[in-house]
Amino acid sequence: FAAFSMAAMAQEAPPGGIAPDMPDKFQVVDSSFDYVRKDVMIPMRDGTKLYTVILIPKAAHDAPILLTRTPYSADRMVSYAYSGHMSSIMQGYDNMPDVIADGGYIRVIQDVRGKHGSEGSYVMARPLRGPLNGTQVDYSTDTWDTIEWLIHNLPQSNKKVGIIGISYDGYTALTALFHPHPALKVSVPMNPMVDGWMGDDWFHNGAFREETLPYIYTQDATRKSTPKWWASEYDAYDVYLKGVSAGMVGKSRGMEQIGFFNQILAHPAYDSYWQDQAVDKLLQKEGLKVPTMLVHSLWDQEDIYGAIATYYALQKSPSSASNLYLTMGPWNHGGEAKEAGTLGDIDFHADTGLYFRKKVLEPFLAHYLKDPSIPLPARVTSFRTGENVWESSNALPSADCTSGCTSLHFQPEHGLAFTAPAAGAGTQQYVSDPAHPVTYIPRPVLTKGVPGSPWAKWLTMDQRNFSARPDVLTMTSGVLTQPFTIKGQPVVHLTASTTGTDGDFVVKLIDVYPDEVPEQREMGGYQLMVSADILRGRYRKSLEHPEAIPANTPQLYKFNLPVADHTFLPGHRIMIQVQSSWFPLYDRNPQTYVDNIFLAPASAYKPAQISVDVANSWIDVHAPTPAAGIFAPQKP
């Protein structure tokens, strides 16, 4: 009978014609599904309607709502594996079926204004209302209006809403915390983009992440992200070296049609354009009124700055700190949402993603959205790499190293030790040549999204090929006889001079494995970066007002590295690498001072000799000063 009535719905052939196969409107037969899907256009206060997919478990009754707001297509996020089971269709970015579907939540995913199914105009990480946004709407009002609609239109809900998301969607989860809707009970920004200049997607300490150009191109060119970046060279090294500067590469692809590209070109320094949209600073002023768990990945290749910066900003005020939670684990960008027993070559011997979701995230959400008698996780849950253990604590060690730190001092003859060298330790030199920049991964450089790209794991890749280069200065300690644990942001104090008038400094803190690792042979001699970053030299004194470097005059380059929570095990050595390019992830510094590096002509790119002042260079790490004898005596 069912087959008969379906056939009756098909269209009849017109006389002398042919019947089309497709009905005017195809109805999915979903009566056996364990959920109902509704696609709705939710009106905002300015009349713009936002496309929203709602998945309601059929058993839902008094169920809490989990919202994600995204520029990456709400429809795509739940249609990877079409199925009658809600947990099976939730395979996309930020869907964690073992928490969200299995937890009985009503799942809501919405396209932000201007992207995919939503109306309105798109602005990259749309700044909140204020000096950069003179309209009456932003992502916080859009969240408010959405929550208001949801609690009045979903009778199956308990009118309690949580917002959750990774990266860009972590940014939207943060923006929900400004003038929050009273029904917003909890927020979970995971790997959020917070400050695009200081250390997230666009720049790190002023060095531009040239390999984000393809993202900006695709995201900002059209509503549906249809045009894809093109490159006529397989190796991204060639693309960007031939292109000379990031500005020229973008212009060669017509990117001056894109508003955000022009903003980047116009704001190379940390001026008010960037400061006024740094969400950590804005949220610190606003105050945290909703319980929030920040999630940070120790090897986040995209947003390694935001979660920790927000954590430190909110820790400063007791009322904000009372709503603040943090989890950090051994993941790449978003790795906590997936199976995470390994990352690249590094083995954690257990699925750390599952641990986070089941032992930390699940009770945290349930406490605030379902039942306050469910015990909360610790304020800070963190995974210590090296030892591979989870730890609970009340707070992270402070961001600076004013107390509780010890210094890893550079030594003559490429050494590294906990004691300062004698005066007159001299300098160590290398030549940085922009025509032969140091790459961040071995060539061919396969960018994010290219088949075979190591992008997702590159921060854990073996650094030994770089330590062998003459333009990478390498300092190595003796062999550790005892474990040495650091937890916090290492602080670099590098004193160096250059024959140029500008220059970049990349500093990498590395765990060198023993020559042989019997249980995992390929790890013998492995050089694992535990924390690393770059500083563009012109910003050494002021991030806002760049200054040329006086040639041949030692300067202090002081900056924080990303947080590490790591034990260097006995038998391992500690290494620091210093270099002046990290290409093509970061654009090349011409090493001759020009007003705007985005527009530097080819003639400005010149080799420079760098001299590092050994006695005045060190890294402070959060750890008690170890007793003498921590390093095995050197073999003669």
Residues near ligand PG9 (CB under 6 A) are 125, 167-168, 171, 193, 201, 215, 302-303
Residue 28, SS3 per DSSP: coil
Element (H, E) at 354: helix 352-355
Q: Which is nearer to ligand PG9, 112 or 313 (CB)?
A: 112
Query: Which residues partner with 161 through β-bridges?
Result: 65, 184
Q: Which is nearer to ligand PG9, 215 or 598 (CB)?
A: 215
Cα 566 to Cα 386: distance, rounded to the nearest angstrom: 6
Smallest distance, Å, CB 407 to ligand PG9? 33
Smallest distance, Å, CB 77 to ligand PG9? 12
Cα 88 to Cα 248: distance, rounded to the nearest angstrom: 44
Smallest distance, Å, CB 39 to ligand PG9? 23
Smallest distance, Å, CB 325 to ligand PG9? 22
Residue 147: φ, ψ to 5°:
-65, -40
Cα 85 to Cα 97: distance, rounded to the nearest angstrom: 10
Query: Which residues partner with 106 through β-bridges?
Result: 65
Residue 509: φ, ψ to 5°:
-100, 125
Q: Which is nearer to ligand PG9, 68 or 531 (CB)?
A: 68
Q: Which is nearer to ligand PG9, 462 or 533 (CB)?
A: 533
Smallest distance, Å, CB 167 to ligand PG9? 3
Residue 361: φ, ψ to 5°:
-65, -45
Residue 386: φ, ψ to 5°:
85, -65
Q: Which is nearer to ligand PG9, 124 or 313 (CB)?
A: 124
Q: Which is nearer to ligand PG9, 125 or 295 (CB)?
A: 125
Structure tokens at 408: 């890893």
Residue 145: φ, ψ to 5°:
-65, -35
Amino acid at site 412: P
Structure tokens at 350: 């257990």
Cα 527 to Cα 393: distance, rounded to the nearest angstrom: 29
Smallest distance, Å, CB 564 to ligand PG9? 21
Q: Which is nearer to ligand PG9, 209 or 566 (CB)?
A: 209
Q: Which residue has the tokens 């929570």?
A: 565
Amino acid at site 174: L
Smallest distance, Å, CB 216 to ligand PG9? 8
Smallest distance, Å, CB 488 to ligand PG9? 24
Q: Which is nearer to ligand PG9, 300 or 511 (CB)?
A: 300
The single-letter DSSP state of residue 550 is P
Q: Which is nearer to ligand PG9, 279 or 401 (CB)?
A: 279
Q: Which is nearer to ligand PG9, 152 or 228 (CB)?
A: 228
Smallest distance, Å, CB 306 to ligand PG9? 9
Smallest distance, Å, CB 517 to ligand PG9? 33
Q: Which is nearer to ligand PG9, 167 or 617 (CB)?
A: 167
Q: Which is nearer to ligand PG9, 301 or 527 (CB)?
A: 301
Cα 239 to Cα 241: distance, rounded to the nearest angstrom: 6
Nearest to 194 by CA among 123, 282, 318: 282
Cα R_g (the chain), whole angstroms = 26
Cα 296 to Cα 293: distance, rounded to the nearest angstrom: 10
What lies within 8 Å, CB to CB, of 560 at 6+ separation is 399, 400, 489, 490, 491, 492, 533
Smallest distance, Å, CB 300 to ligand PG9? 9
Cα 39 to Cα 28: distance, rounded to the nearest angstrom: 14
Question: How would you write 385-408 as a 3-class SS string?
Answer: ECCCEEEEECCCCCCCCCCCEEEE
Smallest distance, Å, CB 198 to ligand PG9? 14
Smallest distance, Å, CB 188 to ligand PG9? 15
What lies within 8 Å, CB to CB, of 13 at 6+ separation is 19
CB 576 within 8 A of CB 474: yes
The total of other beta-carbon atoms located within 10 Å of residue 98's CB is 16
Residue 331, SS3 per DSSP: coil
CB 479 within 8 A of CB 440: no
Q: Which is nearer to ligand PG9, 574 or 585 (CB)?
A: 585
